[in-house]
Every structure is written in C-alpha cells, then in structure tokens.
Amino acid sequence: MIKQMIKHIPFAKRIYRVLRLLNVKYKLTKEKNARMLKSKNIHFMHNDKFANSTINFINKHFPKEENFFLVVKAASYEYTRQEFPKGENIAEFIFDLLNPKYFTNKRLIFHSFYIPGSVDWLYKNQYLLPHSYWMVWGGDFYHAPTDKANTFVRQNIYGLGCPSEHDLIKQRYGTNHKFFDSGMCVFPTDSKNINFAELRDKRIKNSAIVIQVNHSACTSTLEMFDILAKFKDENIHIRTILSYKTSYIKSNQDIIKIIDKGHEIFGDKFSYLDKVIPPADYAEYIAGNDILILNINQGSGVGNVNSSLILGRKVFIKDKGIMQYFQKNGIKIFDSNKIKDMSFQEFCEIAQETVIDNIKNTEALLSEERLISDFSEILNDCCPALMEKQHD
C-alpha cells in the first residue's frame, strides 16, 4: 500500500525506481546464491588493487566451492589499474541487500574494514562477530573511527589477521581475539609476471644515489626531506610518490607543500610520481631506487618494502611493528629514526652478505608455500562458535 502511494509522488517515484534498479543489479543470481549458501568461507572485499590477485590465489590453492567472494565496487579503474573481479564464485553486492541469516554458520572474512558499510553491518548483526575475521591492512587500524559501532566491532570480532602490530591492537581492542600472522593479501596479479632477478641483473648503475621517500603522499615526507637536507650537496636524487594519499594528508595543499619543499631543498635533484601506473611498471620504478625510506608510523607500504628487498635495496622503516616482523623472518631493516645521526657513507652502505640474506629470506616469505600455509590457518581455522553450531 505504501509503495503504491509513493509511486504517485514524482520525486519519490524516481527514488523508488532507482531502488528497484539497485535491487536488480545487486541481487545474486539463483546459481550464485546457491553457491554462496554452500560455501564455508565468505570473503568481503572492495575492488582495491589487491582484490584480483588475492581471489586468484585462493581459487588456485583452495577449493573453489568452499570460498565465495562478495565485492563492493568502491574504487575506480583509474585508482586501482585493476579490472573488477569476475568469476563463478564472485558477486558484486551492497550490504543493505544481504540477509544476515544466510551467514550464521559461515566463516566471514573481511579483507580490511575499508569496505564501505562493513562495520555498520556487523554492528547491526552482532551475533555474526564470534565467527568473523578482520584482515588488518594498516590504516583501517591506525586511523579507525572511535564511534560506538567501530569500537564495539573491533573489540568483539573473533579473528584478527595482521603480520605485525599485535601488541598495539591488544592495547586498543583487548586480547579477546585469535591472532593470525597473515593479512591474507596478495600483491597484484601482474606481479607474478615480474622477474625481479632479471630486474636486478639488467639494471644500469645509477649516476646518482636514488632515494625514494615514502610510498604515498604523507606529511611525514616533509620531515624526512629536512633530515636528508644535510646530503643535498652529495650525488643524490630524491623522489617520492604522490599518486596515493594517506590519512595524514588533509588537502591538496599538503601535497603542494611536499612538492615545494622537495624543489626548495634539492632543486633538480628532486622528482615525484603523481599518477597510478601498472604493477609491472611500478616494479621497474622501484628497481630504479638505491634506497627506500618509509618514514611513517603505520604498517603500510609493505609491498614496496618486499619489492625493494628482493631487488637487494637498502630499506629504512619507522614503524617498529613492521620492522620486528621482518627481523623475525631473518630480514635486516634499518631504522629511519637514526638517519639524522648518520654520515652519508653510513646512510648508503649495506653489506653484500646482508643483501644476499635479505633477497633469500624475502623470497621465502613471499613463496607460494608460505602463503598457502598462512592462508590455510585462517581458512581452516577451528572457530569455536562454528564448532558449537556444528554440534547443535
């Protein structure tokens, strides 16, 4: 009756039509709905640059019938340089059209809380939290909202997947979680075609020491420029990435400050990348560095670190959690806080033995065998809440 009345109101009628179109667009087909209901693991994602590669890896190494991927279209191709995921166990969706009762006996894996609507949906359906898993990406922890819903969901979710920062997460959200040393994130699909050994071998020696500061636009870049200013008369080239923005960047004025300060201190020894480029091209860009500095207080940019280590580059990090994670895996990372006290020689030099060990141990860390083992711990986890349902 109400719907019939609304149809006679011009503006409301248009809204009603839009809602109907949304319902058609995001309604799962009969086949996909049946497949989802039979799946053990439901993955909630948004179409970030890691979506395709992570889905492809799971489908390759784990039973397809046990995993179903619900993907929110939240980012443009210009931002991700990745096509929207497609496949028989993949569906585009919005949370408002999901029936939470379908998910009461399934492992619910949230690939970051950057997924629009994910926290609100879990807060409204709190009985799903005891068998839900949060794969922490970094910013969704460091810059998490502190409202009631966000705090409650993060405090009460069962599983937490994160290579580092377990202690910080416990301090903020308590210890009532099961922690995993994996964020279930695979770098873009093109990376499987990137031959890092070939990039190492064919690289022409730079005429200057090339130093990359940060992997995204961040105000901490300004601080590092001031620290590196003491080397401005050395044979160096400073560059940074401005195509991605961190939560520290409040406006385009902050980006302009980075550009202006870079030119002011280093002149024509400074450059920046302000567009998103395909993974293979970015790997070549990283290969052009001699030194990578991540001067940020959060566990992000790990892909840049991995690529740099495989290429035998010297890497400085500020975040203690990420540094400890690499050290635990036999990889030597340098502390960016100590650059201010270093001579230019100390800053640049790295022992060949360290380079060889870092390459070997990073390749082991990123091997299919290691990733399969890490993913398996989550995908086959004996979640108590699900075990209880099986025995009911």
C-alpha triplet 191, 325, 226: angle, nearest 5°:
85
Angle at 223 between CA 275 and CA 212, to 5 degrees: 40
Residues 35 and 121 in one domain: yes
Residues 51 and 174 in one domain: yes
Whether the predicted pLDDT of 60 surpasses 80: yes
pLDDT of residue 203: 63
CA distance 377 to 99: 28
The answer for residues whose C-beta is within 8 angstroms of residue 202's C-beta and 6 or more apart is none
Q: How confident is the model at residue 251 (pLDDT cuts 50, 70, 90)?
A: low
pLDDT band at 307 (very low <50, low <70, confident <90, very high): confident
* Number of compact structural domains in the chain: 2
Same domain (yes/no): 166, 222 = no
How many Å apart are CA 301 and CA 241, to the nearest integer?
11
Q: Report the alpha-carbon distance of residue 44 to residue 95 in Å, rounded.
A: 10
User: Do residue 10 and residue 144 come from a single domain?
Assistant: yes
Q: What's the rounded Cα separation, in Å, for the pair 51 and 111?
A: 9
Structure-token pair, residue 348: 């640049």
Which of the given ranges, 80-89, 148-157, 247-256, 366-375, has the highest pLDDT on average? Answer: 148-157
Query: Is 314 in a helix, a strand, or coil?
Result: strand
Q: What is the pLDDT of residue 201?
A: 67
- Residue 356 in domain: no
Residue 13 has pLDDT above 60, yes or no: no
For 185-189, 234-238, 313-317, 358-362, which range has the lowest pLDDT when averaged over its residues? 185-189
With a cut of 50, say whether residue 21 has pLDDT above it: no
Q: Return the residue matching tokens 């075609």.
A: 193
pLDDT at res. 211: 97
> Average pLDDT in the 45-71 region?
94
Q: In this structure, are residues 82 and 52 in contact, taking their beta carbons and an 8 Å threshold?
A: yes
Q: Are 362 and 310 in contact (CB under 8 A)?
A: yes
Same domain, 86 and 63: yes
* Mean pLDDT, the chain, whole residue set: 86
Tell whether 294 is covered by a domain.
Answer: yes
Both 101 and 245 in one domain: the answer is no
How confident is the model over 193-197, as a mean pLDDT?
67
CATH number of residue 230's parent domain:
3.40.50.2000
- What residue numbers bound the domain in which 100 lies? 2-186+372-391
* In-domain check, residue 252: yes
Q: Are residues 94 and 153 in the same domain?
A: yes
Residue type, 164: S
What is each CA distance from 316 to 14, 291, 301, 305, in whole angstroms?
55, 8, 12, 9
Look at residues 347, 343, 287, 294 and name the one whose alpha carbon lies nearest to residue 321: 294
161 and 261 in a single domain? The answer is no
**Average pLDDT for 73-93:** 84
Under DSSP, is residue 346 helix (H, G, I), strand (E, B) or coil?
helix
To the nearest 10°, the Cα dihedral for 42, 325, 168, 49? -40
Same domain, 203 and 87: no
Please check whether residues 182 and 197 belong to one and the same domain: no
Q: How far apart are CA 112 and CA 120, in angstroms?
A: 14
The H or E element that residue 51 is part of is: helix 51-61
**Domain check: are 175 and 314 in the same one?**
no
Asked if the structure places residue 363 within a domain, the reply is no
pLDDT at 298: 64
Q: 302 and 235: one domain?
A: yes
